[in-house]
Chains A and B, each alone.
Chain A
Amino acid sequence: MSNRLLLDTIEVNIILNRLACQLCETHKDFSNSVLIGVQPRGAVLAKRLLSILANEHKLTEISNGFLDITFFRDDFRRTEKVLSASENLMDVSVEGKNIVLIDDVLYTGRSIRAALTAIDSYGRPSEIQLLTLIDRRFSRHLPIQPDYLGRQVDAIADEKVLVHWKEEHGEDAVYILNQSDE
Chain B
Amino acid sequence: MSKLSVSHLLGIKYLTPSDIELIFETASHFKEVINRPIKKVPSLRDVTIANLFFENSTRTKLSFELAQKRLSADVINFSASNSSVKKGESLIDTVNNILSMKVDMVVMRHPNPGASMFLSKHVNASIVNAGDGAHEHPTQALLDCFSIQERLGDVSGKKVLIVGDVLHSRVALSNIFALKKLGAEVKVCGPLTLMPKHIETLGVTVETKLKKALAWADVANVLRVQFERMRKSYFPSNREYAMQYGISKEVLRDIDKEILIMHPGPINRGVEISSDVADSENAIILDQVENGVAVRMATLYLLASKL
Contact = CB atoms under 8 A, between A and B. Distances in A.
Nearest to A71: B41
A82 B41 contact: no
Given A71-B43, A117-B42, A122-B36, A81 B29 contact: no
A123 B184 CA distance: 42
B46 interface: yes
B3 A81 contact: yes
A103 B26 CA distance: 23
Of A71, A77, A81, chain B has the most CB atoms within 10 Å of the CB of A71
Contacts of A71: 29-30, 33, 41-43, 71, 301
Interface in B76-129: none
B2 interface: yes
B5 interface: no
Q: State the main secondary structure of chain B at its contact with A.
A: loop
A82 B302 contact: yes
Interface in A60-115: 68, 70-74, 76-77, 81-85, 88
A68 B301 CA distance: 16
Interface size bracket, B side: 20 to 34
Contacts of B26: 84-85
B42 A72 contact: yes
B37 A122 contact: yes
A66 B165 CA distance: 47
Interface in B7-57: 25-26, 29-30, 32-33, 36-38, 40-44, 46
A77 B44 CA distance: 9
Contacts of A123: 37
Q: State the main secondary structure of chain A at its contact with B.
A: loop
Nearest to A73: B43
A77 B305 contact: yes
A162 to B, nearest CB: 21
B284 interface: no
Given A76-B43, A82-B302, A84-B2, A121 B32 contact: no
Contacts of B304: 76-77
B44 to A, nearest CB: 8
A82 B37 contact: no
B3 A121 contact: no
Contacts of A70: 29
Nearest to A89: B32
B307 interface: yes
B45 to A, nearest CB: 9
A174 B270 CA distance: 67
B38 A120 contact: yes
Contact of B305 (A68, A76, A117): A76
A117 B40 CA distance: 11
A121 B37 contact: yes
Nearest to B305: A82
B33 A77 contact: no
Nearest to A76: B43
A17 B306 CA distance: 44
A82 B32 CA distance: 19
Nearest to A121: B38
Given A71-B33, A122-B38, 14 more contacts: A68-B29, A71-B43, A71-B301, A76-B43, A81-B3, A82-B302, A83-B305, A84-B2, A84-B25, A85-B29, A120-B38, A121-B37, A122-B36, A123-B37
What 10 A-B pairs have minimum CB-CB distances, sorted nearest first?
A: A71-B41, A121-B38, A85-B29, A82-B305, A84-B2, A71-B43, A82-B2, A82-B3, A121-B36, A76-B43
